[in-house]
Amino acid sequence: MSPVGLVVVSHSARLAEGVIELAAQMAGSVPLVAAGGTDEGGLGTSFDKIMKGIDEADQGRGVVIMTDLGSAVMTAESVLEFLEDGQRSRVRLADAALVEGTVAAAVAAEAGAEVDAVVRAAEEAIPGAAPEEAPEVGEPTASAILTLPNRAGLHARPAAILAGRLSQFDAEITINGADAQSVMALMALNARKGAELVVEASGPDADEAVRLVREQVEHGFGEPA
């Protein structure tokens, strides 16, 4: 099944298309749809464009809508009211920075995150914002000490891969004391090549969660060493 899709709603068609172009560089398999400008090609928003965008982006796992300004939010909310109940249950409207949020959401979706986790990734991607407090792991039942081998370290893409996939586990997990299910918390670690990562987890899926982190780190997240 395809990843969660994204619809970018902007008053400017060019802006929406540019954000989609940027996100596509990070998440090539995610359904990304630009819904910018009016039906006549001017500045503004279009009910019909948003409705069609949702239909195009929704390939079974849901859709997250990203917006630029307040009236875009209002138009998107109007569209949600007209969706059938089954589809409406799979669509979320994110309260997030358009560019940073869309990129973070796209990478999380690419990593396999479900719709609520994709929204979380988008809404946490606020420039300069402090990450959420890490969860209480308590006495960890699984742990590992790993070394980052990839050249760029724990930057946006691997952070989103980890956060997106770990969000699917029933476990509390931290990396160097940060919430490993939060893209922004992982990026805030500023962990570079050669950095040591202390991974700790508790809960029913603790072993699987730590195993996932180990596999991703040891393979360098698929990036050059």
C-alpha separations of 194 from 34, 152, 163, 189, 219 in Å:
39, 10, 20, 13, 14
In angstroms, rounded to a whole number, what is the distance separating the alpha carbons of residues 221 and 224? 9
CB 103 within 8 A of CB 23: yes
Q: Is 219 one of the annotated active-site residues of the chain?
A: no
The two tokens of residue 53 are 């965008």
CB 219 within 8 A of CB 162: no
In angstroms, rounded to a whole number, what is the distance separating the alpha carbons of residues 158 and 103? 13
**In this structure, are strands 32-36 and 5-10 parallel, antiparallel, or unpaired?**
parallel
CB 221 within 8 A of CB 146: no
Catalytic residue (one of 155, 193, 211, 214):
155
**In this structure, are strands 5-10 and 63-67 parallel, antiparallel, or unpaired?**
parallel
Place of tokens 């060493």: 225
Residue positions annotated with a catalytic role: 155
